[in-house]
Structure 1
Amino acid sequence: MATDQLSLVFQALADPIRRAILTRLTNGDATVAELAEPFNVTQPAISRHLKVLETAGLISRSRRATARLSHLEAEPLRDVTTWLARYQRFWDESHERLDELLAALQNNRQDDPDRAEAVSMKGNEDG
């Protein structure tokens, strides 16, 4: 996925109405009127939201008789998840290092309770 496409997806996901539309589309295709129903916005406003989602590749639109249906295209969401997974690994590794540090500090406290108490008291004096 090109960075530009990724930016379009994040831009589309930035709006709560567009996120709600995507959630609704997980239940199946829907018309503009069906998508507008839960919101206090006009159908033209929903159509503008749909255009943003379509430009980002998150939905496709088709005609069935006189109805224009929107359909969820989830692949760009998988690409976003893959991009975000790198940062999940970063946070997991950071938390692991923090856990190791806390365990080492606790072990030091158990090994030398007098020193741990002195460090604790010094911390209280500084605050």
Structure 2
Amino acid sequence: MRINRVFEALSHPVRRQILALLKAGPMSAGELAEHFDLTKPTLSAHFNKLREAELVAVERRGTSLIYHLNMSILEEALGDLLSTRDQAP
């Protein structure tokens, strides 16, 4: 279920910080990495979790990966959460 993947991805503070950085606009993996004291494999795992949840989109520009925030997935997950709450007994 997509909503579960979204909230699982949002459960880690590093991933939330990545999303906050991407609110300003697309950034390369290298630019994002400058904001964290994490190993490349650890940061890559966080990027993958965000991609699996479709919270970020990625495009390749030459040798760089450029990450974009996908706000529509966040909005959809919040809408799903609120509609689920309305259905509760």
- Indicate the TM-score class for this superposition, using the shorter chain for normalisation: 0.7 to 0.9
- Determine the C-alpha separation between the residues in 1 that align with 2:9 and 2:18: 11
* Rg larger for: 1
Partner of 1:45: 42
Partner of 2:22: 25
Unaligned stretches of 5+ in structure 1? 90-127
- 1:62 is aligned to 2:63: no
SS of alignment partner, residue 70 of structure 1: strand
The structure with the greater share of residues assigned to helix is 1
Give the total of aligned pairs.
85
The structure with the greater share of residues assigned to strand is 2
Using the TM superposition, give the Cα deviation of residue 28 of structure 1 relative to its aligned residue in structure 2, in angstroms.
1.1
Partner of 1:100: none
Unaligned stretches of 5+ in structure 2? none
Q: Select the residue among 67, 82, 93 that pairs with 2:79.
A: 82
Could you list the runs of 4 or more consecutive aligned residues of structure 1 that deviate by over 2 angstroms after TM superposition? 83-87
Which has the bigger relative contact order, CA under 8 A and spacing at least 6? 2
Q: Which amino acid aligns with 1:82?
A: G
